[in-house]
Structure 1
Amino acid sequence: MAGLSMLYNAAIASTFMKILLFPCYRSTDFEVHRNWLAITHSLPISQWYTSAISEWTLDYPPFFAYFEFVLSWIAKLLGFDAEMLNPYNLNYASPSVVIFQRSSVIVSELVLLWALREYVYSYPEINRGNAVLTAIDTFLSPGFLIIDHIHFQYNGFLFGLLIWSLILAKHNRLLLSAAVFTTLICFKHIFLYVAPAYFIYLLRVYCLSESGFRPQIFNTIKLGLTVSSIFLLAFGPWIYMGQIPQLFTRLFPFSRGLCHAYWAPNFWALYSFFDRVAYAFLPRLGYSFPEVPFTNAPTRGLVGDTMFSVLPNISPSFTFYLCLALQGCVLLKLFLRPTWRVFVGATTLCAWISFLFGWHVHEKAILIVIIPFSILSLIDRRYLEAFRPLAVAGYISLLPLLFTSQEAPIKYLFTGAWVAVLLHFDKNAPVPVKRVFLLNRVNLAYVAGFVPLFIYNSFLHNFIFGGRFEFLPLMLLSTYSAWGIFCAFISLSWLYFTDLK
């Protein structure tokens, strides 16, 4: 209980800090969720996924729509500003609305706290030291602070469901684990990234015998009925109304380009960077390339189709088959060695592959890689050394989401303190971890490289170029972060196929 009290104290202290952040910058996501409250409260269910009153149309699965519907009635019953529930009242953010929506994020985060408590209890009491530190590290994640409590989203409780599902699998409560994960997909479909790992693990461990691969018919029926019942509960009304094609159009907008406006730090950021460098320097060697319209250039900072000048253009189908092929290699090992630790590793790698090579990936999606990997990161020094560049680069890549000067001290100080603790973790770890000298030094050098990068982006760029090349600082940050995240992916992949048991 002493260890858990540390987690609870950290949660209480962070809650007071989050309340102080109520007046901070709010992104358009704040209005998105405020608008979803209004849509689900004031319009009939038949119009939830067809309404275009606002440009911020409902594009999360039905369980999240139900969640917003419940929140809207709580707001009404508690006497909050009724104007927030008017779908025609666009860009509305009275003090009452801000307090309600910010508070709803904090309260919903109790699901994450519960899941982390279960994670700690999943270890024997004598070995809970690292688990407690991992739980605190996760709850105080800069990603949750930046994205949920300032920028504004509801990732905390969603990742609480993911962690809880993984812990249920550790306890061999596989049917309940599948139910929780299916529920999670029906809240936010980005978690389809890791669905292949769940499918293979449940197939191998729950639907087939331990030896001989003999089908377990009764288990298969139970699993099928559980998953299909949850999907039917979520999507049933739209199946009845014949609106599934419209709903899926909202959930999967493939008309968007390969890269987001601010490049997510993935493989395509590196690809785009090398295309820009080649386009700038190869003509000096006598090569010529067709001019790409600015509206389609990868550095325009807009959402839409991306065209490359030198390297081949990428299609959505190519990214899909590439992810499928790479995930297939990961899933093959999971099928042949279906242990819980391999399952968590496969979950992490499936998310990582989708993040690195997927179509139109948002920078915020890095959380789906960092959070499950944190469960493995303290088991062995080698996992920790792969986790460090991922977590540091991933969280630092989120800092441009907060671009106003008032939030600069918060994002830099909190993220810097979290990174400092992560870098010094093993020195005070309750359980000794293996030491890998060279990898440790390389990772430390990589992390230190963010310092001159921030100095250039914050001061030197404008001094050198004035108002020109305004996208260059973001491009450098995204590319440098992508390099660390990609190398960390190679490290975990090597460990997964050689050491992970």
Structure 2
Amino acid sequence: MEGTVTAVVVLLAVTVRWAVSFYPYSGARKPPMFGDYEAQRHWQEVTLNLPVQQWYFNSTDNDLLYWGLDYPPLTAYHSLLCGYIAQAINPDWVALTSSRGYESPQHKLFMRATVLVADLLIYIPAVILYCSYLQETSKRKLVSLLCILLYPGLILVDYGHFQYNSVSLGFALWGVIAVAHGWDALGSLAFCFALNYKQMELYHSLPFFCYLLGKSFKKGIMGQGFLFLLKIGVTVISAFPLCWTPFLTDTEQIFQVLRRLFPVGRGLFEDKVANVWCTLSVLFKIKSVLSADTQLKLSLICTLLGVLPTCLKLTVNPTLKGFKLSLVNCALSFFLFSFQVHEKSILLVSLPVCFLLNEIPLMSTWFLLTSTFSMLPLLIKDGLVMAYIITMLVFLLVTGGCLSFHRKTSEDDLSLKAFCLSIRRYLSWFTVPGSLLRVMLFLSLSVMASLTIGSCALKPPPSLPDLFPVLISAVSCTHFLMFFLYFNIVHLWDRTNGLRGFWLLLLGHMKKRLFPV
């Protein structure tokens, strides 16, 4: 890619990010708990003023009910680093206990700057490198870079609501880049960093595991494949103790951190989130009818069933395109079916969907717009409606103008040719109607726009105070189920002769890969 144009694209992306940062943040002037902005500030306060052994434990100085630390060690270390810088600028920002709920224009500038610096150091360079390696013309690479960096969901959550998702997603992207170029140990290390920054990166763990396992089968599990797996295993086993060293002093420390990372006692879901369980609860009160243990088991079984086909296919046929599709399918299965999902977790699906913008522009753009829309209730609560509307329109105009996604409705454009050919063996008339797909897209965007206007301008009836959040969750969940089916079809039929070919590959070639002649 041309350096000057790349710099202009990055500058434009940074400008949009910084413009969003002028809007309110989560919990602004809303005591007593404030919001995620206060959570991040509070973690700086705790990690700076307390010994590492007390970071995850309840105490007089560390009330876990007040934004107790519930992310892995790398998040804590990042908070500590930011805490040191904050103390050097103004000790009042991180003074133990007395700084709770601290708000000022200067502190907001500092906190917003920490997000931008993390983005510039980790996420944006990874996106630039990823796009530079695409098998496309320089113009197409620049278009991909622009579209990925302007994805509104990540911008609104990190620079509006306030989080550091670009750090964990950036590490995951570095892992994808490394693995795609055969630097498997380095890629595994990068993904370990992502997982040790945010535990939700478990959404991406199975595709990494299955892709590397499939590569080892190709090499011969009893020969070079074993050495390959050993190298990956040593890397992972070394990375985790490195990140967890201060917490390995005794078993109670380890278990306390794990309890904070996986709070199963919170129940199946909390807020209105666009997954299956929250949507079903409108008709069937799952949390009231089923016990907590049953809810946990049900979500686990459904999640595993959801990831099983794509993981098996990736293990049997570990291609780079399959790896990207499996990242989408696994993350979407976790989002739809797993336990205690937050609305912001859809960003873990959006990252690998961004990888597919060039290959499947219509469905990828449609998904990215829907994923941002699904977080609308959260954005309204934070006072980010105008930022949401502007960034969504900018993204829609850029993808429409540069990718012409609304015109890419052929079987080839949708990566559905193999699937359609297999169906036409039994139904000769079967085809994917492009005109119908465009109508569906138009209706979908119209519904999103209508619900956005209704949520902002209309007052729900007193008997249904959550009408619009529930409708937004249900509409988004319906879309996500459609995308889940679509991306699984694309992956399962990729380079196989339908599902029959997939199972033949699985049953016929595993023996050869396990025991090569």
Per the TM superposition, whether the score is higher than 0.5 is yes
| CA distance, structure 1, for counterparts of residue 334 and residue 107 of structure 2 | 35
Correspondences of 1:344-493 after superposition (within 5 Å): 344-379=324-359, 383-403=360-380, 407-427=384-404, 434=413, 436-462=434-460, 465=461, 467-493=462-488
Correspondences of 1:20-99 after superposition (within 5 Å): 20-21=22-23, 26=28, 28-52=35-59, 53-54=62-63, 55-77=66-88, 79-99=89-109
| CA distance, structure 2, for counterparts of residue 136 and residue 491 of structure 1 | 25
The offset of 1:269, in angstroms, is: 3.1
The offset of 1:80, in angstroms, is: 2.7
Distance 1:440 1:314, change over 3 A: farther
Amino acid paired to 1:477 = I
| CA distance, structure 2, for counterparts of residue 121 and residue 270 of structure 1 | 40
SS at 1:49 equivalent? coil
| CA distance, structure 2, for counterparts of residue 408 and residue 197 of structure 1 | 35
Amino acid paired to 2:105 = P
Q: Would the aligned equivalents of 1:146 and 1:398 in 2 still touch at CA under 8 Å?
A: no
TM-score scaled to structure 2, two decimals? 0.82
Distance 1:113 1:216, change over 3 A: same
- Aligned-pair identity (%): 24
The offset of 1:342, in angstroms, is: 0.5
| CA distance, structure 2, for counterparts of residue 46 and residue 212 of structure 1 | 42
Q: Which moved more, 1:229-238 or 1:208-217?
A: 208-217
Q: Would the aligned equivalents of 1:386 and 1:492 in 2 still touch at CA under 8 Å?
A: no
1:178 has 2:178 as partner: no
1:131 has 2:141 as partner: yes
SS at 2:249 equivalent? helix
| CA distance, structure 1, for counterparts of residue 351 and residue 382 of structure 2 | 28
1:228 has 2:237 as partner: yes
Q: Would the aligned equivalents of 2:27 and 2:38 in 1 still touch at CA under 8 Å?
A: no
Distance 1:172 1:215, change over 3 A: closer
Structure 2: give runs of 5+ residues left out of the alignment.
29-33, 415-433, 497-517
Distance 1:377 1:414, change over 3 A: closer
Distance 1:487 1:425, change over 3 A: farther
Q: Would the aligned equivalents of 2:248 and 2:254 in 1 still touch at CA under 8 Å?
A: yes
| CA distance, structure 1, for counterparts of residue 266 and residue 382 of structure 2 | 30
| CA distance, structure 1, for counterparts of residue 294 and residue 401 of structure 2 | 41
Q: Would the aligned equivalents of 2:274 and 2:473 in 1 still touch at CA under 8 Å?
A: yes
Q: Would the aligned equivalents of 2:206 and 2:330 in 1 still touch at CA under 8 Å?
A: yes
Amino acid paired to 1:453 = L
| CA distance, structure 1, for counterparts of residue 103 and residue 458 of structure 2 | 37
Q: Would the aligned equivalents of 1:268 and 1:357 in 2 still touch at CA under 8 Å?
A: yes
The offset of 1:427, in angstroms, is: 2.7
Distance 1:480 1:16, change over 3 A: closer
CA RMSD of aligned residues (A): 2.8
Q: Which moved more, 1:394-403 or 1:185-194?
A: 394-403
Q: Which residue of 2 aligns with 1:332?
A: 312
The offset of 1:371, in angstroms, is: 1.2
| CA distance, structure 1, for counterparts of residue 451 and residue 220 of structure 2 | 54
1:307 has 2:288 as partner: yes
SS at 1:93 equivalent? coil
SS at 1:172 equivalent? coil
Counterpart among 94, 110, 114 of residue 125 in structure 2: 114
1:198 has 2:196 as partner: no
Amino acid paired to 1:160 = G
| CA distance, structure 1, for counterparts of residue 73 and residue 270 of structure 2 | 25
Q: Which residue of 2 aligns with 1:293?
A: none
| CA distance, structure 2, for counterparts of residue 405 and residue 64 of structure 1 | 23
The offset of 1:313, in angstroms, is: 10
SS at 2:465 equivalent? coil
| CA distance, structure 2, for counterparts of residue 136 and residue 198 of structure 1 | 26
Q: Which residue of 1 aligns with 2:513?
A: none
Amino acid paired to 1:317 = K
The offset of 1:482, in angstroms, is: 1.1
Q: Aligned residue pairs: how many?
A: 462
SS at 2:281 equivalent? helix
Q: Would the aligned equivalents of 2:25 and 2:162 in 1 still touch at CA under 8 Å?
A: no
Q: Would the aligned equivalents of 2:211 and 2:314 in 1 still touch at CA under 8 Å?
A: yes
TM-score scaled to structure 1, two decimals? 0.85
Which deviations, in whole Å up to 9, do the C-alpha atoms of 1:98-148 show, x marking residues without a partner?
Answer: 222111001100111100111122125x52433322222222221122211
Amino acid paired to 1:107 = V
Q: Would the aligned equivalents of 1:81 and 1:96 in 2 still touch at CA under 8 Å?
A: no
Distance 1:121 1:413, change over 3 A: closer
The offset of 1:376, in angstroms, is: 1.4
Structure 1: give runs of 5+ residues left out of the alignment.
276-296, 299-305
| CA distance, structure 2, for counterparts of residue 152 and residue 349 of structure 1 | 27
Counterpart among 4, 7, 24 of residue 6 in structure 2: 4
SS at 2:265 equivalent? coil
Q: Would the aligned equivalents of 2:70 and 2:261 in 1 still touch at CA under 8 Å?
A: yes
| CA distance, structure 1, for counterparts of residue 495 and residue 41 of structure 2 | 44
